[in-house]
């Protein structure tokens, strides 16, 4: 989506001998506009269902916040730090969407967009169409503060810290939700749902803890952390079900969403009004043994989390008070061995216990959404996750050669999945959380860079691979079956660089292959290819002028929707001029996606569904930057070794955008831009703006 942000504020700081006082006041506002089109296949039964949706949303927010800091150092061994904060704000959002569900793949030689060509699709494969709208408004304010007391004790490495914090916030939310559904397998019957909901929320919390570090021997420390937390969250939502009011459909057509009849209070729905009061008492104990002796470092720890939870809950005819106590244990290990300053290997392990949400364990059925009914499961067990990482790095100075590799393994015992019962007439689902075993993943990456023939010419390669074993439940003919989806990803990126003192040229190519196979649903089997190739160049002249450009072809193949199998020729360019003493000032003009070809496409695959999506974004734009360096950072004229200011941005953008480096489930998407800024460059390049 597109996003606009603004901020203005005032910062003040005072140093008074051993006392430092400071703070700031800020006003923030933002607006975002997002349009998302998706095509998905759901594996809820052995006969898949297919869905298409198009959603547009707009959100706005304004806030005022004030942070203060008081730091006192009465002596060289003690420190007191107090940080209070106050904020208030409001936000609103609105969305419109349309979604359709089919019992067979709607795409064909003549059907390229099932939403636009819905009337031309065979009636027998249509299940439902849902036209929806929502509107919400929220006001909130909060106050919080923290106090830190730190004291270094007599023996070197021995110190103690005490932490205190508190928080209180209050909000009021109002929302309107409209859903107009047509059921084509039930003689084209319709159902209108229109609800207004008012929800006040009140949250308070406080915590207290300490940290103590004791040196046992030279470069060996034992550290103990203890923290107590108390959280109290209250929510008292009232829902008015207005869909059954006579002529409501006509009234909404005239007045639009947000319309409330004069007698709307007569339609309070006690079953859909939800009251929740959640209290948590948490004790955290963390014990760490740290050994830091050349050439190795070892950190072994054990975290224990004891929690007492109490919930007062009233919803869907259930009015209950429930409580539970549980203990979570998380072991950790971090070992690093250095062969030299440039050559090391590191192993990390972490285990973590995760408790299910207490509301998922209630013996109740939530029918507030007839297309997505949820059941509770009192028999849910906690899950436990193991995560192991191995990292290797070696830089050989004599040959200017770099080698790096990493591997990771992750598995979850008793992970929580959803058993789904699918209604082929309505397209609705009844889901129930269930424990399941068999979810695990492994991934690896290998990178290598070395000069070839001469120092000016280097070649680098990056190979990545991952394998995910996802399991889930299928439900058909009153029988629960266990489905397994295996997803293999292989990526390769190759770069050839020629570097002179004042310019360089880079050739690059990449390929990402995605293989997905389902045990029970063969129609889920997919093979997709994302590949790109291109050239980029930078020039940084002695007279202060600089030029940069990149040209890359990005292609996709194997996606279910024909309009996602695209070829995109992306051209970026930049010109800059360095001036003033030492070339410390730089002005640069950047142009992104000059040919207007880039699109935002991504794919995600799990054990229960496959989804391809496309979102809107500002891909083609220009940006003018001015940079001034107050310090001089080595290299010719303060501008670096033959480097154009920000000139690395295009290669870095293309490198991050290459298929071999995309994260799971997001191939085809461009790099994330901070605060709506451009995808490339630091000062003069735009990255991180």
Tens-place pLDDT, residues 367-383: 877 778 888 888 888 89
pLDDT tens profile 44-100: 665 678 889 999 999 999 999 999 999 999 988 899 999 999 999 999 999 999 999
Whether 525 has a pLDDT exceeding 90, the answer reads no
Contacts for 14 with CB less than 8 Å, ≥ 6 apart: 20, 21, 22
**Residue 607 pLDDT class (50, 70, 90 cuts):** low
pLDDT at 146 over 70: yes
| DSSP element (H, E) containing 255 | helix 248-255
How far is residue 184 from each of residues 114, 126, 603, measured CA to CA in Å? 15, 6, 29
Q: Could you tell me the two tokens for 169?
A: 């916030």
pLDDT value of position 507: 96
Please tell me the predicted confidence (pLDDT) of residue 495. 96
Report the C-alpha gap between 214 and 137 in whole angstroms. 52
HEC assignment per residue over 340-404? ECCEEEEEEEEEEEECCCHHHHCCCEECCCCCEEEECCCCCCCEEEEEEEEEEEEEECCCCEEEE
Q: State residue 637's pLDDT score.
A: 43
User: Residue 553, exposed/middle/buried by CB under 10 A (0-12, 13-18, 19+)?
Assistant: middle
Least confident of 383-397, 489-503, 616-630: 616-630
Residue 654 has pLDDT above 50, yes or no: no
The confidence band for 344, taking pLDDT boundaries of 50, 70 and 90, is very high
From 72-76, 114-118, 209-213, 648-652, the region with the lowest mean pLDDT:
648-652
Amino acid 235: pLDDT: 93
Quote the pLDDT of residue 387. 95
What backbone torsions phi and psi does residue 75 show, to the nearest 5 degrees? -155, 180
**What distance in Å separates the CA atoms of residue 337 and residue 291, rounded to the nearest whole number?**
12
567-579 vs 609-615, strand pairing mode: unpaired
| Residue 651 to residue 560: CA distance in whole angstroms | 31
Residue 687 has pLDDT above 60, yes or no: no
- Region of poorest pLDDT, from 125-129, 226-230, 418-422: 418-422
pLDDT for position 657: 37
Under DSSP, is residue 637 helix (H, G, I), strand (E, B) or coil? helix
Give residue-wise pLDDT tens across range 238-273: 999 888 776 777 777 777 888 888 888 888 988 888
Is a pLDDT exceeding 90 seen at residue 211? yes
Q: CB of 470 within 8 A of CB of 440?
A: no
Q: What pLDDT does residue 373 have?
A: 86
* Token representation of residue 116: 């636009």
DSSP 261: -
The predicted structure's pLDDT at residue 632: 45
Residue 232: what pLDDT?
95
Average of per-residue pLDDT across 278-302: 93
Question: Which tops the pLDDT comparison, 242 or 638?
Answer: 242
**pLDDT score, position 524:** 64
pLDDT reading at 630 higher than 60: yes
Task: Please calculate the CA angle 469-471-472 and round it to the nearest 5 degrees.
Answer: 160
Across 532-540, average pLDDT = 94
Region of poorest pLDDT, from 25-29, 479-483, 572-576: 479-483
pLDDT range class, residue 26, cuts 50, 70, 90:
very high
Given a cut of 60, whether residue 647 has pLDDT beyond it is: no
Tell me the pLDDT band of 39, cut-offs 50, 70 and 90.
confident
With 80 as the cut, is the pLDDT of residue 665 above it? no
Residue 638 in this model has a pLDDT that exceeds 70: no
Instruction: Tell me the pTM.
Output: 0.70
Confidence of residue 212 (pLDDT cuts 50, 70, 90): very high
pLDDT (tens digit, 9 = 90+) per residue, 584-596? Answer: 999 999 999 999 8
pLDDT tens per residue, range 460-502: 999 999 999 988 887 666 677 787 888 999 999 999 999 988 8
**Bridge partner list, 392:** 345, 405
- What is the distance, to the nearest Å, from the Cα of residue 1 to the centroid of all Cα atoms in its chain? 14
| Residue 684: band (very low, low, confident or very high) from pLDDT cuts 50, 70, 90 | very low
pLDDT value for 58: 95
Q: What is the mean pLDDT of residues 153-167?
A: 87
Angstrom distance (rounded) from CA 45 to CA 424: 10
Lowest mean pLDDT among 116-120, 182-186, 230-234, 668-672: 668-672
Looking at every residue in the chain, the average pLDDT score rounds to 84
Residues with Cβ within 8 Å of 126's Cβ and at least 6 positions away in sequence, in order, are: 100, 101, 102, 118, 184, 185
**Paired residues of 486 in beta bridges:** 469, 517
User: By C-alpha distance, which of 394, 296, 399 is closest to 343?
Assistant: 394
Low-confidence winner among 159-173, 193-207, 354-368 (lowest mean pLDDT)? 354-368
Alpha carbon distance 557, 638 (integer Å):
46
Q: Is 680 in a helix, a strand, or coil?
A: coil
Q: What pLDDT score does 648 carry?
A: 36
Residue 307, token pair as written in the block: 């929690």
Report whether pLDDT(503) > 70.
yes
| Burial letters 264-281, b for 16+ CB under 10 A, else e | eeebeeeebbbebbbeee
| Average of per-residue pLDDT across 540-547 | 90
Residue 620 backbone dihedrals phi, psi, to 5 degrees: -105, 120
Res 49: pLDDT: 80
């Amino acid at each position: 989506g597109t996003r606009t942000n603004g901020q203005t504020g005032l910062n003040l700081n005072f140093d008074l001998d051993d006392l430092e006082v400071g703070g700031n006041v800020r006003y923030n506002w933002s607006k975002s506009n997002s349009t998302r089109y998706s095509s998905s296949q759901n594996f809820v039964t052995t006969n898949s269902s297919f869905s298409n949706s198009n959603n547009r949303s707009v959100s706005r927010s304004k806030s005022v916040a004030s942070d203060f800091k008081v730091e006192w150092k009465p002596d060289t061994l003690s420190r007191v730090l107090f940080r209070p904060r106050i904020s208030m704000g409001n936000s609103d959002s609105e969305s419109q969407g349309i979604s359709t569900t089919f019992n067979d793949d709607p795409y064909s030689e003549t059907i390229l967009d099932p939403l636009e060509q819905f009337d031309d699709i065979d009636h027998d494969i249509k299940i439902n169409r849902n036209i929806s709208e929502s509107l919400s408004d929220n006001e909130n304010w909060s106050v919080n503060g923290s106090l830190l007391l730190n004291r270094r004790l007599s023996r070197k490495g021995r110190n103690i810290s005490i932490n205190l914090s508190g928080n209180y916030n209050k909000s009021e939310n109002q929302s309107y939700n409209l859903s107009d559904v047509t059921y084509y397998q039930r003689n084209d019957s319709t159902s209108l749902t229109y609800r207004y909901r008012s929800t006040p929320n009140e949250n308070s919390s406080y915590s207290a803890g300490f940290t103590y570090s004791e040196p046992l021997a030279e470069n060996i420390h034992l550290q103990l952390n203890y923290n107590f937390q108390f959280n109290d969250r209250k929510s008292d939502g009232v829902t008015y079900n207005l869909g059954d009011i006579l002529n409501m459909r006509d009234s909404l057509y005239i007045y639009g969403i947000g319309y409330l009849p004069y007698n709307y209070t007569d339609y309070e729905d006690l079953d859909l009004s939800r009251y929740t009061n959640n209290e948590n008492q948490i004790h955290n104990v963390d014990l760490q043994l740290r050994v830091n002796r050349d050439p190795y470092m070892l950190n072994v720890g054990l975290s224990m989390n004891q929690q007492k939870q109490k919930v007062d809950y009233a919803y869907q005819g259930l009015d209950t008070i429930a409580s539970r106590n549980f203990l979570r244990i998380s072991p950790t290990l971090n070992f690093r061995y250095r062969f030299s300053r440039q050559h090391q290997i590191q192993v990390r392990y972490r285990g973590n216990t995760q408790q299910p949400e207490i509301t998922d364990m209630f013996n109740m059925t939530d029918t507030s959404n007839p297309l997505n009914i949820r059941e509770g499961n009192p028999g849910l067990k906690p899950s436990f996750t193991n995560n192991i990482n191995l990292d290797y790095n070696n830089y050989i100075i004599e040959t200017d050669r770099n080698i790096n590799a990493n591997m990771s393994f992750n598995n979850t015992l008793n992970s929580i999945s959803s058993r789904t019962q699918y209604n082929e007439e309505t397209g609705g689902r009844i889901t129930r959380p269930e424990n399941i075993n068999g979810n695990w993943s492994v991934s690896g990456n290998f990178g290598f860079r070395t000069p070839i023939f001469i120092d000016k010419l280097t070649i680098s390669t990056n190979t990545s691979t991952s394998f995910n074993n996802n399991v889930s439940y299928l439900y058909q003919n009153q029988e629960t079956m266990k489905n397994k989806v295996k997803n293999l990803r292989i990526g390769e990126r190759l770069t050839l660089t020629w570097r002179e003192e004042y310019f360089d040229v880079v050739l690059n190519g990449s390929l990402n292959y995605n293989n997905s196979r389902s045990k029970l649903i063969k129609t889920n089997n997919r093979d997709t290819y994302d590949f790109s190739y291109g050239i980029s160049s930078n020039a940084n002249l002695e007279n202060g002028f600089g030029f940069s450009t990149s040209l890359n072809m990005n292609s996709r193949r194997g996606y279910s929707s024909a309009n996602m199998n695209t070829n995109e020729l992306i051209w970026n360019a930049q010109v800059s001029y360095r001036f003033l003493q030492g070339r410390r000032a730089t002005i640069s003009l950047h142009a992104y996606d000059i040919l207007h070809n880039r699109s935002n496409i991504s794919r995600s695959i799990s054990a229960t569904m496959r989804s391809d999506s496309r979102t809107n974004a500002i891909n083609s734009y220009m940006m003018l930057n001015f940079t001034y360096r107050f310090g001089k950072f080595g290299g010719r004229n303060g501008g670096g070794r033959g480097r154009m200011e920000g000139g690395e941005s295009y290669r870095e953008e293309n490198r991050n955008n290459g298929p071999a480096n995309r994260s799971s489930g997001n191939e085809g998407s461009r790099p994330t831009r901070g605060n709506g800024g451009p995808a490339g460059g630091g000062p003069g390049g735009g990255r991180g703006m």
